[in-house]
Structure 1
Amino acid sequence: MSTPMSTSMSTPLNEGPLHEAVDRRVDQRVHRIPVDDLLPADSPRTGGEDLGHAQALAACGDPLPPIVVHRPTMRVIDGTHRLRAARLRGQRLIEVRFFDGSSEDAFVLAVESNTLHGLPLTLADRTAAAARILAAHPQWSDRAVASRTGLAAATVGALRRRTAPPDEAATHRIGQDGRVRPLSTAEGRRAAARLIAEDPGASLRAIAERTGLSPGTVRDVRRRTDDGEDPVPPRQREAERKAVPEQAPRVSAALPASGDGGPGQGLEALVRNLCQDPALRLSDAGRLLLRMFDVQVAGTRSRQQILAAVPAHRAAMVAAAADQCAAVWRDLAIRMRSRSGAEGGDT
């Protein structure tokens, strides 16, 4: 394979505005490499290339914008038709920008790019792409997947319900902004109702920041409490009621549980117990701790998928990072046990 020859920094990745995360993940330096060094794309286009579109690009005579290539595999991510046009023109070299992420993220980038510019993806293409992204990134929110595929969030939600494994028990999802949010706001609503009762003059934003809810949700809680209603809507309460018996067998089967809430209790049950404590839920540091535990629970459930997703050349680095995380958790556990003993244990 020939060594890429760098050229000057050029225009942004594409003429259309791309998702902000795309710009951060793609090396903006432009290289000229032989067209024969490139492999076919792992394309979201289920129907393959549109030869007529490639011929039109080749005939226009204008310089072709750089294509995006997955450096580890040299597969085209964005620019299949531009590559075919370059070959039709008889070009030996083509300008590229490299992406160094995983194959799964390369596919997400291909979907994002083809959704935002160039020859549009069909509805069938975008739906198939969303199903694949949900399988690779089940922790992403419906809106996060929708923003990358050009579908409505409700469509992604319906697709998730049809394709999700029957034992999926996620409690949080990662949104478009990278923040982790609970799937259910029931506990946050109850906490907001208590804060409103304690301080009726508190602003919506202040209560939202303390509970992790949106100001709009806090407004709904205030309206409900003013009307003498339960702060949690009936549908949400019913979902909570149904979720309890379904989760209990999974906890006891996954980890040994004890009835006293002690160290032998299953991790999920321990975390659920901690989530009931207002002292943790209503402080920034407490909510951070609960989010850390929740991510740990999600990682425990998905351990096999995580092991399979890490490429061999990153295994040692992931192991080292896991060791460091384990050391941090161990230090925290030692300090907490010492503090519990000094304060006379649990009451």
Structure 2
Amino acid sequence: MTNFAVSLPREDFECLDANTSAGPVVRVAVRALRVAGSPRIAGENLEHVRALADTPDELPPIIVHRDTMRVIDGVHRLRAAKLRNQHDIAVRFFDGDEADAFVLAVRTNVSHGLPLSLAERKAAANSIVTTHPHWSDRLIASVTGLSAKTIGEVRRNNKVPQPESRVGQDGRVRPINSLEKRRLASTLMREDPNLSLRQVAKAAGISPETARAVRARLQRGEDPTVRKRVGSRKVEDKRQQQQVRTPPPLPMPDRITVMRYLRTDPTLRFSETGRTLLRLLDVHSMSNDRWATMVRNVPPHARETIAQAALECARVWRTVAEQLERNSYGAH
């Protein structure tokens, strides 16, 4: 299996998920497994353990770090197995190092099951910033379910020595401070104005888009290595608007990913209420392209009526979401 520590973003996350979920399932003695290093600061939820223990069927396999036999994902299922007096449990092994095992534990517990609290996700981010300083803020944000801005704050408070470049979500490596590279690009352009943007970008180690920005600033008589001042009235007004703007939502897994994990939750699958919710949610988990095609094919005479019905459905779902959030907060 690929070493998760040096793998690159989403494509490799998806490969990791596929390899882990497609790996052989083996039976492992419950007493041989360890519970340590979990991102859950508050520990396990006993009510959830009892609910899992009461389900009539076999629970999905847990993920275990092969080298240490530590449970990466499935501590509640392991506790439920002990409550059932099982001697063994279904396991899929992960073969990365311990730092990568922790990243996988965070990612799986953010995207399904009982979600990690905000404090737990911030603590996890602090650990990942330490073990994976070469990952970009957005990449770590996609793992922890936090915003990139929050990851930046965690990184500044962490004071871990930073590399000169970071790996982004798209797998590309980008320099953290590109002023020196911009200076080199501007020098190349002055010495040979006939160089193409790609030639300059390759020689200076920047993207063609950055090279284009450098050329534009040179043409305006500006210094490409000097950051723009923010003292103008227009910029100040924009900053004030940003201060009162509602913060963007936290990055969350896409609808298809959410549904894939919800379907594996036995507390939903084995109750009538859970199955009803899964059927309703499944209808809405179509891709945006399919929704767009459906909208385009609505007959003109029915569009207004369907729009009103859709708004009413949205209102009902919003009410359900607000009730669930209130109940969730009250449970804590």
- Whether the TM-score (by the shorter chain) exceeds 0.5 is yes
Which TM-score band applies after superposition, normalised by the shorter structure? 0.5 to 0.7
1:44 has 2:39 as partner: yes
Residue from 173, 182, 192 that aligns with 1:189:
182
Secondary structure of the structure 2 residue equivalent to 1:19 = helix
Residues paired across the two proteins, number: 217
Residue identity matched to 1:181: R
1:31 has 2:26 as partner: yes
Change (3 A) 1:176 1:161: same
Q: Is the 8 A contact 1:29 1:97 kept in 2?
A: yes
Instruction: Give matches, 1:186-335, under 5 Å.
Output: 186-197=179-190, 198-199=192-193, 202-203=196-197, 207-234=200-227
Q: CA-to-partner distance for each residue in 1:267-322, whole Å, 9 max, x for gaps?
A: xxxxxxxxxxxxxxxxxxxxxxxxxxxxxxxxxxxxxxxxxxxxxxxxxxxxxxxx
Q: Is the 8 A contact 1:114 1:121 kept in 2?
A: yes
Corresponding position of 1:116: 111
TM value normalised by structure 2: 0.57
1:164 has 2:159 as partner: yes
Residue range with higher mean Cα deviation, 128-137 or 218-227? 218-227
Residue from 65, 68, 78 that aligns with 2:63:
68
Residue from 140, 148, 165 that aligns with 1:153:
148
Residue identity matched to 2:182: R
1:20 has 2:20 as partner: no
Aligned equivalents of 1:21, 1:176: Cα separation in 2: 14
Aligned equivalents of 1:220, 1:72: Cα separation in 2: 49
Aligned equivalents of 2:56, 2:166: Cα separation in 1: 46
Residue identity matched to 2:155: R
The structure whose RCO (Cα within 8 Å, separation 6+) is larger is: 2
Q: Is the 8 A contact 1:19 1:112 kept in 2?
A: no
Change (3 A) 1:186 1:162: same
Q: Is the 8 A contact 1:34 1:92 kept in 2?
A: yes
Residue from 166, 174, 198 that aligns with 1:173:
166
Aligned equivalents of 1:107, 1:24: Cα separation in 2: 18
Residue identity matched to 2:118: L
Shift of 1:132: 1.2
Shift of 1:128: 0.2
Corresponding position of 1:103: 98
Aligned equivalents of 1:62, 1:110: Cα separation in 2: 24
TM value normalised by structure 1: 0.55
Change (3 A) 1:20 1:210: farther
Residue identity matched to 1:233: V
Q: CA-to-partner distance for each residue in 1:122-161, whole Å, 9 max, x for gaps?
A: 1111100111122223333323322221222221111111
Residue range with higher mean Cα deviation, 87-96 or 75-84? 87-96
Change (3 A) 1:104 1:169: closer
Change (3 A) 1:209 1:29: farther
- Percent identity among equivalent residues? 52
Aligned equivalents of 2:201, 2:113: Cα separation in 1: 41
Corresponding position of 1:300: none
Corresponding position of 1:255: none
Q: Is the 8 A contact 1:41 1:80 kept in 2?
A: no
* Structure 1: gaps of 5 or more residues: 1-16, 237-347
Residue from 109, 117, 124 that aligns with 1:129:
124
Shift of 1:33: 1.4
Corresponding position of 1:59: 54
